[in-house]
Chains A and B, each alone.
Chain A
């Protein structure tokens, strides 16, 4: 049985399994996520990496028929346990998706919405959060003169950085990124990657990506998933230069997947 004593990292999964009905999409995965690191989850489509990522902030709760087993430890608390305050938990864990999904609101309101809901009052305080979040997402200079404009008027790359700023607005400790750059052009992708490297100075990041170069460029640790199982997990340099497993090597070299 998992006890707090066995936990090495303040954020890690332990024997986490996820089922859709009787189908086991993720099979008993234990992964640590160290502070100030980027962990890349790679593997062919359908290998369970996105499902795994979504379960980390309990987003799978909303899919009917899905059940999870095992533990997700954050600071000694198993957030996968019954009775977890999911709303509070999600404040600690930000998430950004493949397709930018800004709210149908102004740029300002996109950022201020979460903090306002969680009890921040006063225009000055909110203004400050909006500015700092946008600065952290490297978007401030581009939008500071049109904060009242609709967020949907921004370009795709700007929208994605806005979504990152929105996730940062509630001050999360962990950022989950589900292929955050795969719908963006190369310039925007570069900006988002740059951003991820900067952000890891403040928090820990878990990223799902199909782009091997991207995983190699920005991550510190890499986990290779195949058919719902964790095949290999190590430092990124190690996984990319000298993987233990034949399958990992073939996937990274682009021979299958």
Chain B
């Protein structure tokens, strides 16, 4: 075969696969949105669910998902950044470092149901944190940490070595180089990693059923004191997230409009993930530009 023909065939295949993936994605998104969008209203987004009657909303669940995301990222990002930076910049290459890397990888392939049951035994029961947002956030941290560590490590490793040398030659300390020279360059990749782990927080159900629980107390959205039992901000209250709610009403919903609610909630979930994605990218770019004075991501 002529090289030119081979090249044409290969290009055709690659374009075909790329289009196929786009088509699948649009199909999936379209199906979820078409089925769910007409059920979404301001009332649906803000009101509490109904057990038996029709017309319930997903207000508390939507709030729980977002709040759980914040709590999880508050734990995951500092831990993941710290461990990733350690692996990339401080750990000496050798058996111990490779062992840590292996552990991190094994951790990332844990089935979420196992993480959930482990969280039930250790966090909920043994440490007596009960079914609560904080239990859910810790369980999700087990889950997300490997991804965060890996991506941070890789982000730091791809920064040109000459950047570090330039910093050393100026008489900067290693810590200063890591935080002020390397971190800004690694930031776009780290933000991508954060978005990926955030997506898992929104979508996770199995690990949360046994840790954050499958119910929400009657929330009082005018009480923002995190120490009050009915305050939405109380991290020690049980919290059913949107994904868990979808699973629950699909499998055991009693309301007559359960199917429509599940469809609407799915659409809300998808839109929330999309919005979070776009916002995170936008702010990430803004910070990157501010730190590096560049007009675009290099």
Contact = CB atoms under 8 A, between A and B. Distances in A.
Nearest to B181: A103
B163 A117 contact: no
A150 B165 contact: no
A142 to B, nearest CB: 17
A103 B183 CA distance: 12
A134 interface: no
A104 B295 CA distance: 11
Interface string B254-298: 000000000000000000000000000000000000011111001
A170 interface: yes
Given A59-B165, A64-B92, A170 B171 contact: yes
Contact of B168 (A59, A102, A151, A166): A59
A182 B266 CA distance: 59
B24 interface: no
Contacts of B167: 103
Interface string B150-188: 000000000010110111111111001000110011000
A187 interface: no
B294 A90 contact: no
Contact of B163 (A90, A101, A166): A101
A201 interface: no
A104 B292 contact: yes
A97 B164 CA distance: 12
A129 interface: no
A149 interface: yes
B169 A113 contact: no
Interface string B178-208: 0011001100000000000000000000000
Contact of A167 (B162, B169, B291): B169
Interface residues on A, range: 35 or more
A87 B298 contact: no
A97 B165 CA distance: 9
A114 B170 contact: yes
Interface in A14-59: 57, 59
Contacts of A113: 170, 180
B217 to A, nearest CB: 48
Interface in A72-115: 87-91, 93-95, 97, 99, 101-107, 109, 113-114
B293 A109 contact: yes
A103 B294 contact: no
Contact of A105 (B168, B173, B291, B295): B291
A118 interface: yes
B169 A90 contact: yes
A108 to B, nearest CB: 8
Given A148-B293, A152-B294, A152-B298, A101 B168 contact: no
B170 A170 contact: yes
Contacts of B168: 59, 62, 90
Contact of B176 (A64, A102, A117, A169): A117
B169 A87 contact: no
Contact of B295 (A57, A91, A150): A150
Interface string A113-152: 1100110000000000000000000000000000011111
A252 interface: no
B176 A101 contact: no
A117 B173 CA distance: 9
A114 B170 CA distance: 6
Among A118, A150, A153, max chain B CB count under 10 A is at A150
Contacts of B165: 59, 95, 97, 101
Contact of A90 (B170, B181, B185): B170
A118 B166 contact: no
Nearest to A169: B170
Contacts of B172: 87, 114, 117
A101 B166 contact: yes
B92 to A, nearest CB: 7
Contacts of A149: 293
Nearest to B92: A64
A163 interface: yes
B293 A150 contact: yes
A166 B173 CA distance: 16
A90 B92 contact: no
Nearest to B292: A104
A118 B171 contact: yes
Contacts of A163: 166
Contact of A57 (B162, B169, B181): B169
B49 to A, nearest CB: 49
B169 A59 contact: yes
A148 B292 CA distance: 10
Interface of B: 92-93, 160, 162-163, 165-173, 176, 180-181, 184-185, 291-295, 298
18 contacts: A62-B168, A64-B93, A88-B171, A90-B171, A91-B171, A95-B169, A97-B165, A97-B166, A101-B160, A103-B163, A103-B166, A105-B184, A106-B293, A117-B171, A117-B172, A149-B293, A167-B169, A170-B171
Given A95-B169, A101-B163, 5 more contacts: A59-B165, A87-B173, A91-B170, A97-B162, A103-B181
